[in-house]
Structure 1
């Protein structure tokens, strides 16, 4: 009995979609499903592996995978897109434990004491607290809980203690590259205060030069003359740290072994599609898989990773980005979308990730979004060496992306309208004719 879901491809054809669930440490929980996947490889022409972002609800992830596959397949039929001879796809969806709520700033920063009639914000805070608590030493958990529970403001002294607990437990020192986490006072005054000040302060911070971020004015910090802090914003930042680290663990310990096996087999082309932190899952997986042949294509949809991650020389540090080698492990140029309509990645990602070092997979530092912005918000950094290029999202049909320019990474700008709507209108709205067409451009036969 198969453990796969059936997905309609159009024209009466169907394909099997296998869902692989992983534990928070990357341990595989769907052992039989993976065994069946391995047994199907020799009969497949193409393997499509999807990884979701900020969402761990099984049914919702399944629905999103189905929606993307059905849209992509319907487009193939509508436009007569050629496939591999004897086209037989095998579909795999990763299910990894992120969080059941939206990206922490999908709806903007929290406002202290704002009404919460349906209890949603309280439920989100409860889940974020649970996630953060998993990484705190047992002896420190009571102090942290008492500083958070039922409070929308804390004084500076309590805020310092809470920040110290979060920083030391969730942002450890990275001794291998000489980097540092932000000092507690830096975090308090330049990150937490900015988030409490609201959207305008965050937007203003986007133009700060590295090392020249001004202290937030006390009157803008929030209530109580700048000496109170909203602990919910600390939870939001800490949750981003937690999910960033977890996505890497899922990729390295969970997905990499599967990629290694698929790419050790002759035959099926491998296509990787990741959204948000799911892009980090796939990047980390491929970077550590040590494959014996290349994946065929990779499509990153609003990736929540740093824009320097593919760079040969990160911001003049002499270090390569953590995923610098990945584009050379893929036959086709890597396509990565970006959009000015993605509020979480345009306005908040660089704040949550700021600290004292550069380059994914361990990036975070004070400075502007040119240096520290998200790949899905600002696109890949162009060092002028021809390795990176930019193209605008295109309508499906005759227009194809230029994959022969020599660029290994192509940033696809989804800010402009395609067929009457932005190609990427928000962080989560990434299944559309424009993104399906981007995958077709990558998967067309040579």
Structure 2
């Protein structure tokens, strides 16, 4: 594509350019003519809104989500007569990156348990996962990996160890970029695999985490460090659980690559001295795209704002001291690259980020060197599921604010404001699920960050 994708009609009949930029899985720009045209139009622009979608979005779906958010945001401005900055002339950019996958369609309410599907959806998911993971392995290892999985729903421990070693060595060999934890060993991952297997059974009525038998709970309801899998040690392993975890690892890494290698140069260009105000809005793994882009851009000046919607990143990613390890989170510096505090949402109704992410992303001995942290949401929980790890004076939590019912305190000194979307308005959660983020409370959050008053 080249040039502006379409014109968005603003208040009073003015027009704003809406560009779509496509990147490949390594972050290579596939829309160079569109980017050239975009850069030519930046002079005279007052505000740039840069959006990045999350997982499982084909082009049409991503475009639909961008339009939904933009239209809701503009309609809310008209409804509540929200002022715009003087000389307001916005430009909008939607990132299109290869996140398409049947597995974990988080925006549509995923079937994490992989229950039988008479219409064949699960079979299609498994085929896509197998291809995605197998093609990531060195060529010599692909036949062995495929043969051990193809057509199997249960394998023995020896085969499971071999498969885990093959995948970990390629897709999870480095320290986690969010929290710095070492990758698990194949044996450590088999323990997690068993917990994932337990997730195929109903969650107990008392709300315990998937397949865990807690002897005591943290304040947030998370299972204790050291909780053991509620499964027998000799159970067979379903290779689909490995494929699901491996797909998470691959997509997480891909989002970081797209941000650091693809979107980052554009962010740096926009933030050249004297350019427009930059507002970054990312959902799910799209939050990682934009965090990586800003973190690596070495900007000449600060971006104006960042709104993360149910981000699929570790809750320690902004920390100055990750779980007492002395390490800084991978995006510790990002809030200080913004004029206004970073605003990020979380919700207890985000099932994938509350019940799966911390299992898939469990590393090796983070924070508790002698204890296996099964299902520990304090250490491995997602930012969009549990909010950021709190640091006095740097982070603040606030209930989601309904339109025209107040504003977030952007002057308290906190650099990160975590917005709790679990609270209800008129009997409905403010953020009822992972993909339901184009909502009155999220449009309002962006208005609070961007309005001049």
* Stretch moving more, 172-181 or 428-437: 172-181
CA offset at residue 16 of structure 1?
A: 1.7
Q: Name the SS for the 2:63 alignment partner.
A: helix
Aligned to 1:429: 436
Q: CA deviation at 1:181?
A: 1.7
Which residue does the alignment assign to 1:110?
A: 113
Give the 3 Å change call, closer, same or farther, for CA 323–164 of structure 1 in structure 2.
Answer: same
Q: Do the aligned residues in 2 keep the contact of 1:255 with 1:285 (CA within 8 Å)?
A: yes
Q: Is the 8 A contact 1:259 1:285 kept in 2?
A: yes
User: In structure 2, what is the equivalent of residue 321 of structure 1?
Assistant: 329
After superposition, what is the alpha-carbon deviation per residue over 1:56-112, rounded to whole angstroms, capped at 9, x for unaligned? 31011011001100000010111110101121110000000112336267434335x
Whether 1:238 aligns to 2:246 is yes
Deviates more, 1:60-69 or 1:191-200: 191-200
Contact 1:22 1:254 in 2 (8 A): yes
Helix, strand or coil at the partner of 1:204: coil
Q: Please tell me whether the aligned partners of residues 22 and 29 of structure 1 are also in contact (alpha carbons under 8 angstroms).
A: yes
Q: Is the 8 A contact 2:341 2:416 kept in 1?
A: yes
Partner of 1:20: 21
Q: Which runs of 5+ in 1 are unaligned?
A: none
Q: Does the 8 A contact of 2:302 with 2:339 survive in 1?
A: yes
Contact 2:354 2:386 in 1 (8 A): yes
* Equivalent-residue separation in structure 2 for 1:204 and 1:9 (angstroms): 51
CA distance in 2 between counterparts of 1:421 and 1:93 reads 29
- Closer/same/farther in 2, CA of residues 82 and 419 from structure 1, 3 Å limit: farther
- CA distance in structure 1 between the aligned counterparts of 2:429 and 2:36, rounded to whole angstroms: 41
When residues 178 and 403 of structure 1 are mapped into structure 2, their CA distance, relative to the original with a 3 A threshold, is closer
Partner of residue 218, structure 2: none
**Which aligned segments of 4 or more residues in structure 1 are displaced greater than 6 angstroms?**
175-178
Q: Is the 8 A contact 2:259 2:293 kept in 1?
A: yes
CA distance in structure 2 between the partners assigned to 1:365 and 1:305 by the alignment: 18
CA gap 1:365/1:25 in 2 versus in 1, 3 angstroms: farther
Q: Are the counterparts in 1 of residues 180 and 329 from structure 2 also a CA contact under 8 Å?
A: no
Unaligned ranges ≥5, structure 2 = 204-208, 214-220
CA contact (8 A) 1:148 1:231 kept: yes
**2:372 corresponds to 1:372:** no
| Cα distance in 1, alignment partners of residues 17 and 365 from structure 2 | 43
| Aligned CA-pair RMSD | 2.2
Q: Deviations over 1:25-64 (max 9, x none)?
A: 0011110111111111112111000000002310110110
Matched, 1:284 2:292: yes
Alignment of 1:20-39 (within 5 A): 20-39=21-40
Q: 2: distance between equivalents of 1:366 and 1:284?
A: 28
Q: Is the 8 A contact 1:346 1:373 kept in 2?
A: yes
Q: Which of 265, 278, 281 is residue 273 of structure 1 equivalent to?
A: 281
Secondary structure at 2:17's aligned position in 1?
Answer: strand
- Does 2:231 align with 1:217? yes
State whether structure 2 residue 308 is matched by structure 1 residue 300: yes
Quote how far apart the aligned CAs of 1:133 are.
1.6
TM-score normalised over the length of structure 1: 0.91
2:272 to 249, 264, 271: 264
Is residue 185–residue 364 contact of structure 2 (8 Å, CA) maintained in 1? no
What SS is found at the alignment partner of 2:282? strand
CA-to-aligned-CA distance 1:122-161 (integer Å, 9 cap, x gap): 1111111121122201111011111222221112221111
Identify the range of structure 1 (171-180 vs 271-280) with the bigger mean alpha-carbon deviation: 171-180
- Whole-Å separation in 1 of the counterparts to 2:443 and 2:102: 25
Task: Point out the more displaced range, 149-158 or 44-53.
Answer: 149-158
CA contact (8 A) 1:203 1:347 kept: no
Aligned CA distance change for structure 1 residues 178 and 276 (closer, same or farther; 3 Å): closer
CA contact (8 A) 1:7 1:66 kept: no
SS at match of 2:275: coil
Q: Distance in 2 between matches of 1:440 and 1:416?
A: 20
Q: Which moved more, 1:371-380 or 1:153-162?
A: 153-162
Cα distance, 1:386–1:156 mapped onto 2, change above 3 Å: same
CA apart distance, 1:357 = 6.1
Contact 1:61 1:95 in 2 (8 A): yes
The alpha-carbon deviation at position 246 of structure 1 amounts to 0.5
Instruction: Map Cα deviations across residues 173-203 of structure 1 (whole Å, 9 max, x no partner).
Output: 44999853212122112x1111111253626
The match for 2:182 is 180
CA displacement at 1:120 relative to structure 2: 1.0
